[in-house]
Amino acid sequence: MAFDLGSVLAQALSPFNLLLALLGVVLGTVIGALPGLSATMAIAVLVPFTFAMDPASGLIMLGAIYTGAIYGGAYAAILVNTPGTPSAIATTFDGFPMAKRGDGDLAMTLATLASVVGGVIGAIALMTLSPLLANIALAFQSSEYFWLAILGLTLIASLSTGNVIKGLIGGAFGLILSMIGVAVVGGDVRFTFGSSALLGGIDIVSALIGLYCIPVLIDLVARPDRHLEPAPLGRGFRFFEALGLCAKNAVNLFRSSVIGTLIGILPGAGGSIASLVSYSEARRSSRHPERFGKGEPAGLLATESANNATVGGGFIPTLVLGIPGTPPDAVILGALLVQGIRTGPELFTQQSGIVYIFMFGLLIATLMMLPVGLLIGRYAYRFIVNTPKSLLVPLIAFMTVVGSFAIHSNPHDVVVMVLMGVLGWLLSIGGFGPSPIVLGLVLGQIAEQGFIRAYMIGGARGNFGGQLLFDRPISWAIVALIVITLGLPLLRLLRGKSQNGKEARP
Amino acid sequence: MNADRDIVGIVGSTFFFFVGATVFAMSFEMTPMAAMFPRTVGAALALLAAFYIFAALRGYRGEAVENGSTVREQAEGLGRRIVLLVTMIGWALLFPVIGMFVTSLAACIILMFTGLFERVSPGRLAIQLGAVLALVVCFYHLMNSILNIPMPRGILF
């Protein structure tokens, strides 16, 4: 490395920078915990404050806010069943059932540990493999994005065990919702029914808040029983129990963190796909896949480690290529330019000091998440458990309204949120869960854009139809993963049936 | 008809069948590129929904990991559920006209009473009302002044 490690560490560990990292993690965690307030917003609001600081300190604070906000998304997902950001969708699958049965303290500690592990692995990859991994971002083209979205959609099959048709119906409905507005390719106005408010499409975060949170609110006011089971007194953080579970799931944690880092590198893919793919992989490789979705710690560990690993992964194309991997990276890229730092391959040679101070700062901020997260998580869980419903209902309702309004300062987003909530509630009565719909909505645009672009590029090259979709080795690898993801459960089912048949025979 | 049949599932699938069929039909008014996905997904949705209706009518009933509440469970506290929904819809429609602070305060007070299940003393009620007021003031201030998100002021505030 062409920099003085001692001097970099001394600057990264200076009391002022440590204080900034701590402040950033706390602010990020609190903002990320509020549904609708995203990491992008937290960073965008606080960027102007960093202009008065020296570049390295400002960047450390922004990185800390970002990593804290991604982690904070787990709070609402676990305690209120509301993924505040798309990257926390899969956290609701097992986090909320754990909290509901009285294991909310364990869920919060597991989420903290997994986020720290994922964040550290992402940060280490950023420090050591940046130029090498940046090539992956360049290798991914339209067809790979299409297949990646399809890989994410295969999770519908595992989410709908026992009723795959309803899951597929929900997923297809979500895909249709993602098509509302101006078409991503071609510019046709689709399914707006003349409403200008729908031209921009359905905002994913508004839909998320509505689909997950409104049914929770409706159930909250219907019954006098507690929202979450309280944890028995004297169990503390359940830190060592959580640590034991992490040790048991070491492979799962590592695999999910690597998936998170790799998907984080891909511009536009982001934490939602990373956490969904790692959840799917954790379920597929588990000895007890039937426990997933019912409060399985392995599911929570997979999603939280993956979404925090995307932080480090997302910075790789941002710093090496100047291509932001995620929206918060784009805001940080803007802050870098204002500070006079030019991103690109030369950054690591010409301004390596600042870059490595920032990377070490990010690593330190990720480690700070452990004590900060354990403390905030414990009190957040206690607060939600002990708050009477008469205060919890207006609190959650107000957060949903201001949260969905805050995304674009647009009242239509609030209307969309409420309508999606009513629709989600009605559909849940019919056994149509919100997750396949959300998956379709989140992945629809990525899939359509990738497919149409690959089709057009293929057409321009004289290929037939969708030949380009199958032309490249990375596409083959993702298609193979899709086949494995869909085929293995089917194989297990058939094997189980044949074994049952043998046992039944005298 | 057999009482065990998934009647609400059939009703839901009928809704999805019409959504899929409508999307499929509307795709013929679009340019070929823009129509490709809607036509495929619309047809798939309509076919899947039709298949489910057929299967459910023959007695098929699966259980999803994410279970929705049953109709019977949803009947419990139906009045409170409806009050909440009406309040949320009214809140969403009125806050740009009347103002975020006033509509939020009114909606939060209604929701506070909706979430009350036991009789409370006047003192306790005053404390809860104070807490709701503090909640609205704090969040409004956080959004408007600290995060610089302009809250609609409307006719009142």
Minimum-distance CB partner of A222 among B11, B76, B148: B76
From residue A175, alpha-carbon distances to A134, A154, A446, B37 in Å are: 30, 13, 10, 9
Q: What ipTM does this complex have? A: 0.91
Query: A389 vs B117: CB contact, 8 Å cut-off?
Result: yes
pLDDT at B23: 95
> What is the amino acid identity at position A185?
V
Cβ distance A437 to A211 under 8 Å? yes
Interchain proximity B41–A429, CB inside 8 Å: no
A201 and A180 Cβ atoms separated by less than 8 Å: yes
At residue A70, φ and ψ (nearest 5 deg) are: -65, -40
Inform me whether the pLDDT recorded for A293 exceeds 50.
Answer: yes
Q: Considering only CB atoms, which chain B residues are within 8 Å of A425?
A: 85
pLDDT in tens, A197-244: 888 888 888 888 888 888 888 888 888 877 777 766 666 778 889 999
Residue A504 is assigned to a structural domain of this protein: no
Are A130 and A343 in contact, with CB atoms under 8 Å apart? Answer: no
Minimal Cβ distance to A190: which of B34, B78, B91: B34
8 Å CB contact of B65 and A164: no
The predicted structure's pLDDT at residue A158: 62
**Yes or no, beta carbons of B143 and A414 under 8 Å apart:** no
Residues of B in Cβ contact (< 8 Å) with A291: none
Q: Is residue A505 part of a domain?
A: no
Q: Give chain B's radius of gyration (CA, Å).
A: 23
How many domains does chain A contain in total?
Answer: 1
Could you give the C-alpha distances from A110 to A35, B5, B157, in angstroms and in order?
20, 41, 43
Q: Look at B16 and A179 and tell me if their CB atoms are within 8 Å.
A: no
Q: How far is A346 from chain B (nearest CA, A)?
A: 35
- Helix (H) and strand (E) counts for chain B? 6, 0
Q: Please tell me the distance in Å from B1's CA to the nearest CA on chain A.
A: 18
Residue A348 Cα, gap to closest chain B Cα (Å): 34
For residue B16, the distance in angstroms to the closest alpha carbon of chain A comes to 7
Domain range for A434: 5-496
Using CA atoms, how far apart are residues A101 and A83, in angstroms rounded to an integer? Answer: 19
| pLDDT tens digit sequence for A255-279 | 999 999 988 887 766 677 888 888 8
Q: Show pLDDT as tens, one digit a residue, over chain B (157 residues).
A: 455 678 888 999 999 999 999 999 999 999 888 888 899 999 999 999 999 999 888 877 665 545 556 666 777 788 899 999 999 999 999 999 999 999 999 999 999 999 888 888 899 999 999 999 999 999 888 888 877 788 888 888 8
A54 three-class SS: coil
CB contact under 8 A, B9 and A431: yes
Residue in this structure with the two tokens 């008014």, named with its chain if needed: B29
Question: Does A486 reach chain B within 8 Å, measured CB to CB?
Answer: no
The answer to whether residue A456 neighbours chain B at the CB level (below 8 Å) is yes
Q: How far is A344 from chain B (nearest CA, A)?
A: 32
